[in-house]
Structure 1
Amino acid sequence: RCFVRRAHTVYRRATRTFRGDLGLWARWLSFCRRSKSGKEAQRALGRALALHPTCAALWVAAASWEFERGLDAASARALMQHGLRSCGGSDLEALWVEYFRMEVLYARRLAARREILGIDGSAEAESEAEGGKVVPASTPEAVQAILRGAIAKVVYNSAVQAVPGSVEFAARFLDVLRAQGIQDGKELQAFILEDVSRRFPDSQKTWALRAEAARLEASSAAQGALAALDVLERGL
């Protein structure tokens, strides 16, 4: 631990001298993760955000730390929302996508926890443990809505309202779902595809997204290719 303390001292001095070097801040945060230096990471993130409040990557890093290490989804959401108020341009788009990714992961984490504890959809209102704290009880209906992606849908709707007119932006949310596994995100995928089809009915990108969804949902590669071709032909 002596080496770790010395390294943090060097990083503190270096970031005081080269405050604008985002790469240096990123290296320090990476070292914090590798050395499991939670308190130093929080201090570093606080200083970095005070100096660079419009840097989306720092807001994502801070929210990810709370979500993954602190297991505190509420604090992670607050950081994401603060970042959205502070950033603009392409950084704003990246933040919305990461916010959506976090909510998808939160729903999966909640589902996994309920499965381990043997909690089913018919259970009475329960208390969710989060970061060692007890969150006020939710109704079974509310929990089921979260599991089906209700919060992620709200984030997506807010995102496309904030960044309208771009089918490519909407496609990035589909990429998040596909990275998580097609079965886990089928309802959310259908929700996004319906929105894209409504807002961009004549876009070639829209039909390409629908064709890719049909291909991935098929039970075999051959059937997937045929399903994708069928969608593309309807779009001609």
Structure 2
Amino acid sequence: MAEVVEHRVEEMLPELEQMSRVGLFTKEETGQILTKRKVYEYKLRRKQKKKEDFLHYIQYETNLLALVRKRRERTGYSFKKVEIDNNIVVRIHRLYKLVLYRFPEDVKLWLSYIAFAKQLKAKDLVSRQYTKMLQVHDKKPELWLSAAKWEFEENNNPDNARGLLQRALRFNQTSQTLWQEYYRMELMYAEKMRKRRSVLDLETEGESDPVLSGGVAFIVFQQALEAIPDNAGFVIQFLPICLLFDFTSKQEQDICALLAEKFSDNPLAWDALARRHLARKSTSKNDAREDERKFHEVYGEAIGVVTSGEVWKLYINACLDLIQKAGKQSLQEKRLERALLVFEEARDVGHLTPDLYAKWTDLLQKTGSLTEALEVCCAALEVHPGDITLWEKKLSLMITVGKDLNMIQDTLDGARKNIPKKDSWPLVRMVLEHSIASNAAEDTVKLLEKSMIDPSPVSQPAKELYLEFEYLQHGMQHARKVFSRICEYKPVSEDVYRSYVSMEMAQPKPKMKLVRAAYEEAVREHGALSPNLWLDYIKFESCGLEGRLEAVGNIHFRAVKALDGEHNQDFIRRYTLMQTGCP
């Protein structure tokens, strides 16, 4: 092993001597480079080869090459590149080949080497490495696409790109992405050739050429359908690609005819057929209006053919997209009116889902039609009484339009009968916030009292809000009574105990006996899982004139006994830091 390393070191000496002689590095620096390389070379001679050793060596040599180039720029010395720069590059190539030979399964290594070759602008090397990588990783379509894209866009070699994609499809025949990108590449090639012929004034001669007209791309499309048959989504994905080019109108018609004939019962097919009219670049306002008319016409035909609710959902979402894209106010109002008509038609045939009802409500709210929005919400809940989002929207609208608090409370009661009580907190909170804002203290207390006996997801935040409400409204005396009442309804969250303690401690003369009782109740209920609670209890007894330092040891003992596992270790660590004065 030593003989091989020494031989490698001897081969480096002329290179390092040249670095020193031409003034790029000092003798001390070249000595450090030699020492570093020697360490790396010994690591590479281990019996158990490690990928990290190769990568560290490669990174070191790459950084050294960058430093050499920077110092050349600074000193203006551009000679001896063969003896210095090229030797470093050759060493990096050798290291990459060694690591790839031992770890060919690592895709990142291949891509790293290819990126290095691209930096050197070594196009032949990039092609060779792509080929070698794909021999090992032939089942990864994304790598084939990366190679083909480089060949077509950077190496300007469409034949190589086409060959790569054809080979890729032999290994990955059912890859939808490969077929789509192959189709795109053939159209891009046809466009490039058409532009070239346009420059040479040969447009007329090229019109009948199958390559220039996109015929080859259409053959790819047909082969794709043979490889992946009866897949409407797959066929639809070719349509946006086709619409990117101005010479593919015939192909667009053929794809649309196929969708209409073979997938007439598929809502997604009709959505694609309709939206293609909106994807065109209109040259005038009349063309844009005509395209939009055709869009609605296609969907009008679709809802007559497809009886499922999915087609209505797609139609409504497309109409909402149109509203978002409308620039002028007049156009937006026109599209809004049409969307509302579509919502009504979908409702009449019974194909509005809760989600679509919610979108209808939102649309009416944006236009300021709050009363109509509330009517829609009420109608929606007759059909979908178990949807919590619709109940939330109804309550919000009732509050906005100024409905009576009793009506709002009745609506909340109706909602809680139709949805699981454990999910009703957003509704309860909304009504409570409105009740508090309306200064309806009696109604607020009634609802809070009722919520305390609900499941935990409702009762826990309700108890905390109840305590805070009484403290702010009537002061500490009432808060103490409410806290005592809350403690009767277990479980009580840790946050409730903390809120009560902070209220007591904020008083001019806090009642320490009550604070200790609250801490005792809290650790009894949450002490097994909360190191923070025990630490706060200890801090309380350790600070101030009212604290009892003699109780700290007992609290610590109880905490260690109550906490298990990680909580125990966390408590001991943080208690030790607290004792030493660390935060």
- TM-score by structure 1 length? 0.78
Residue range with higher mean Cα deviation, 149-158 or 72-81: 72-81
> Does the Cα contact within 8 Å between 1:4 and 1:35 map onto a contact in 2?
no
- Aligned to 2:265, what secondary structure does the other structure show? coil
Match of 1:175 among 230, 236, 240: 240
Q: Which of these residues, 39, 46, 50, is aligned with residue 124 of structure 2?
A: 39
Identify the residue that residue 107 of structure 1 maps to in structure 2.
190
Match of 1:228 in 2: 295
Counterpart in the other structure of 2:160: 75
Distance in 2, matches of 1:38 and 1:5, equals 16
State the identity as a percent: 27
Check whether the contact 1:63–1:79 (CA below 8 A) recurs between aligned residues: yes
- Residue 175 of structure 1 aligns to which amino acid in structure 2? P
2:202 paired residue among 111, 119, 134:
119
**For residue 143 of structure 2, what is the aligned residue in structure 1?**
58
1:200 aligns with 2:263: yes
The structure-2 alpha-carbon separation of the partners of 1:228 and 1:32, relative to structure 1 and needing over 3 Å to count, comes to: farther
SS of structure 2 residue aligned to 1:146: coil
Alpha carbons of structure 1 residues 215 and 14: separation in structure 2 relative to 1, 3 Å: same
2:290 and 2:139 mapped to 1: Cα distance? 47
Cα distance in 2 between the residues matched to 1:189 and 1:68 = 25
Q: How far apart in 1 are the matches of 2:200 and 2:263?
A: 43
CA distance in 2, matches of 1:85, 1:148: 26
**How has the CA–CA distance of structure 1 residues 218 and 69 changed in structure 2, closer, same or farther, with 3 Å as cutoff?**
closer
The offset of 1:71, in angstroms, is 3.3
Is the 1:59–1:79 contact (alpha carbons within 8 Å) kept by the matching residues of 2?
yes
The total of aligned residue pairs comes to 214
Q: Aligned to 1:50, what secondary structure does the other structure show?
A: helix
Query: Match for 1:186: what amino acid?
Result: S
Give the conservation status (yes or no) of the 8 Å contact 1:49–1:59: yes
Offset of 1:207 from its aligned partner?
0.7
- Look up the equivalent residue of 2:223 and give its one-letter code: S
Runs of 4+ in 1 over 6 A off after TM superposition: none
Instruction: Measure the CA separation in 1 of the matches of 2:112 and 2:212.
Output: 35
Partner of 1:93: 176
1-side partners of 2:127 and 2:154: how far apart? 11
CA distance in 2, matches of 1:71, 1:215: 34
Equivalent pair of 2:194/2:203 in contact (CA under 8 Å): no
Q: 1:126 maps to what in 2?
A: none
* Structure (1 or 2) with the larger CA radius of gyration: 2
Letter in 2 for 1:210: L
SS in 2 for 1:121: helix
- Tell me the alpha carbon deviations over residues 161-190 of structure 1, each in whole angstroms, 9 at most, x when there is no partner: 100111111122123234x35x34333222
Superposition pairs of residues 134-153 of structure 1, within 5 angstroms: 142-143=208-209, 145-153=210-218
Q: Is the 8 A contact 1:99 1:155 kept in 2?
A: yes
User: Greater shift after overlay, 152-161 or 42-51?
Assistant: 42-51
Determine the C-alpha separation between the residues in 2 that align with 1:31 and 1:58.
Answer: 17
Equivalent in the alignment of 2:228:
163
CA distance in 1, matches of 2:111, 2:143: 8
1:83 to 1:228, Cα distance in 2 relative to 1, 3 A:
same
Unaligned runs of 5+ in 2: 1-84, 304-583
Matching residue of 2:133:
48
Distance, in Å, in 2 between the alignment partners of 1:172 and 1:11 is: 39
Per mean C-alpha deviation after superposition, the further-off stretch among 31-40 and 225-234 is 31-40
One-letter code aligned to 2:261 = R
SS at match of 2:237: helix
Corresponding residue number in structure 1 for 2:272:
209
1:53-74 CA distances to partner (integer Å, 9 max, x unpaired)? 2222232233333333443333
RMSD: 2.6
Q: Flag structure 1 segments of 5+ consecutive residues without an equivalent.
A: 123-139
